Structure 1
Amino acid sequence: MITCVVDYVIDPAKIEDFERFARRWMDLVERHGGIHHGYFLPAEGASDEARALFSFESLAAYEEYRTLFGTDPDFVEADRIRDETGCVLRYRRTFMRPLLPDSD
């Protein structure tokens, strides 16, 4: 399993737009074979940071999902929310391997 961790710098004045963007991506990840662990939004402290975590069976499975970016209408529409509202100022994607309580 591989987990993608996405760190966002968001516009705090556009949190509702970011939530709409996030809900679309949670659906897309789940629909295309991933497990979305949720978006984590500002509550206390920095108000412009958010994080998303989602996993795929393998890097190959993630890369297959990525082939839909820019071509599948649902993916294009989800990105349009981000682009038209300006809710995301920048983001960074990192891949991690989870160590879970039941794993050897």
Structure 2
Amino acid sequence: MITCTVRYEIDPDKLSEFETYAKFWLGKIPAMGGTHHGYHMPHEGPNDIAYCHFSFPSLAAYEAYRADMWKDADCLRAYEFAKKANCIRRYDRSFTRPLFDGTSPEELGL
């Protein structure tokens, strides 16, 4: 599994437009084979930073999603909405692999 984290720098005066954009992807990512872990909106601290986390079974599945996304009319409409609203100043993506299985104190070897 690979998880994509998107860090958005948003226009705080256009938070409601960004939320509209974000809500589209909450349903679209699962429809395209991924798992959406939600958006994390500004609350305390900086008012112009938001995060998004979603996963795909593999990097190949993520890359297939990216290719399909650019051919999907609804995805293109979402990007056009964000562009017209000018609610996203910039964004960057990072990729991680989740770690879900814990360990026992004995396995620590201390």
Q: For this structure pair, what is the TM-score category when the shorter chain's length is used for normalisation?
A: over 0.9
Tell me the distance in 1 between the aligned counterparts of 2:6 and 2:17: 17
Residues 50-89 of structure 1: pairs in structure 2 closer than 5 A? 50-89=50-89
Tell me the distance in 1 between the aligned counterparts of 2:25 and 2:81: 11
TM-score in terms of structure 1 length: 0.94
Tell me the distance in 2 between the aligned counterparts of 1:28 and 1:6: 16
Stretches of structure 1 lacking an aligned partner (at least 5 in a row): none
Q: Aligned-pair RMSD on alpha carbons?
A: 1.3
Q: Find the residue that maps to 1:83 and give its secondary structure.
A: helix
Q: Find the residue that maps to 1:68 and give its secondary structure.
A: helix
Stretches of structure 2 lacking an aligned partner (at least 5 in a row): 104-110
Segment drifting more, 25-34 vs 43-52: 25-34
Residues 16-95 of structure 1: pairs in structure 2 closer than 5 A? 16-95=16-95
Task: Flag the structure with higher helix content.
Answer: 2
1:42/1:50 contact within 8 Å kept: yes
Q: Percent identity?
A: 46
TM-score in terms of structure 2 length: 0.89
Tell me the distance in 2 between the aligned counterparts of 1:95 and 1:18: 22
Tell me the distance in 2 between the aligned counterparts of 1:66 and 1:41: 24
Tell me the distance in 2 between the aligned counterparts of 1:101 and 1:41: 28
Instruction: Compare CA radii of gyration and give the structure with the larger one.
Output: 2
